[in-house]
Structure 1
Amino acid sequence: MTERTLPHDPYITAVCEALDKAGLKVKDGRTDDCETRGTYCYLNAVIELDMMSVGLQDERPGLLLIWEWHTGREADHGEPDRGPVWKFAELQDDGSNEYPTDLPVYGYASAAAIVEAARKVISHEIKPGDFFNLGQWRGWTGGLIGDSWEHADQLESACAEWDARE
């Protein structure tokens, strides 16, 4: 995590703790506020799972779980709409990662939902390249996984307050 406090720190900490408790060990977890196009910021978090903890080190070097909260200010320029989204990306042998794919969870998904979705990615039930288009999932037919985090309202308010200060 970062040294300064960001609105999503408690949320990402709860998700990391749930992943660890479920045996999906977190190798690295960090939060940040990032610039897009040098003008607007967005909140993000990147969680890297330790693939050795699930016995898949030889199959895949790593798995990233990515959370982003966008201001929506640049939606007319192709940037995401306002609000949160979860994505995942598999790491490659050279340290790069594939293009992130949406996770079929709520933007403020419960920690349990993230654990379940990560397990489905690891088992290949959800695959890189599955995506949401025209109101339905392509490649993934299981719908949204889980529910929202019990503190989603507070997180949403904290993100909005952060946005108002930026």
Structure 2
Amino acid sequence: MTTPRTLPHDDYITAVSEALDKAGLEVKDGRTDDSESRGTYCYLSAVIELDMMSVGLQDEQPGLLLIWEWHTGREAEHGEPDRGPVWQFAALKDDGSTEYPTDLPVYGYAAPAAVVEAARKVISSEIKPGNFFNSGQWQGWTGGLIGGSWQKADQLEAACAEWDARE
């Protein structure tokens, strides 16, 4: 029997998923991974799929993905993200594909409650696909950053940096 690999962000994504469920935004699926980028570098990732039936929108929107990624920054010179974490969202389409992910206006290590609030704003269309962070300002979203950072953000950052050093 193989023991599942533990990743630095497992506990964080579990905390966010539990907060979403508790708030009535049921998690349909969730997974963490250490993904390859450009076939050379790795990054940490998580995808949480919300069950749109739990919010009564299954007819209007098949699903909503909340995406968390932590990048090493090594591939930034090739147009990939700088070092650190980011939250994004993408709507699922009827055919199972997604739109291009859009940044969520939360800290990279956002408190679970902040991710819940941001997800609610996506569901209510206050935050729309295409709202993005550019040159230090949000384009299309005027509400600023939502909520604060997770209470264990420093520990998570250290664990991600340790993971990066081993990769």
The two structures have a TM-score, normalised by structure 2, of 0.98
Displacement of 1:3 after TM fit? 2.4
1:72 paired to 2:76: no
Question: Offset at 1:123?
Answer: 0.1
1:114-133 equivalence runs, <5 A: 114-133=115-134
Give the alignment of 1:13-24 within 5 angstroms. Answer: 13-24=14-25
Please list the CA deviations of residues 52-78 of structure 1 after superposition, one character each: whole Å capped at 9, or x if unmatched: 000000000000000000000011110
Distance in 2 (alpha carbons) for counterparts of 1:139 and 1:59: 22
Deviations 1:93-123 (A, max 9, x none): 0000000000000000000000000000000
Considering only aligned residues, what root-mean-square deviation do their CA atoms show, in Å? Answer: 0.8
Query: Partner of 1:51 in structure 2?
Result: 52
Provide the secondary structure at the position in 1 that maps to 2:126. Answer: coil
Q: Which residue in the other structure is 2:161 paired with?
A: 160
2:85 is the alignment partner of 1:88: no
Q: Aligned AA for 1:25?
A: E
In the alignment, structure 2 segments of 5+ residues that lack a partner are: none
Q: Using the TM superposition, give the Cα deviation of residue 4 of structure 1 relative to its aligned residue in structure 2, in angstroms.
A: 1.1
Unaligned runs of at least 5 residues, structure 1: none
Displacement of 1:146 in angstroms is 0.1
State the identity as a percent: 85
Q: 2 CA distance for matches of 1:17 and 1:95?
A: 25
Cα distance in structure 2, aligned partners of 1:4 and 1:51: 30
Shift of 1:31: 0.1
d(CA) in 1 for partners of 2:37 and 2:17? 26
Moved over 4 A (4+): none
State whether structure 2 residue 88 is matched by structure 1 residue 112. Answer: no
2:61 partner letter: R
Matched length: 165
Structure 2: distance between partners of 1:44 and 1:28: 14
Q: Which amino acid aligns with 1:157?
A: A
Structure 2 partner of 1:12: 13
Q: In 1, Cα distance between the equivalents of 2:138 and 2:17?
A: 26
SS for the counterpart of 1:153 is: helix
> 2:151 matched to which residue of 1?
150
Counterpart of 1:162 in structure 2: which amino acid? Answer: W
Q: Which one-letter code corresponds to 1:3 in the other structure?
A: P
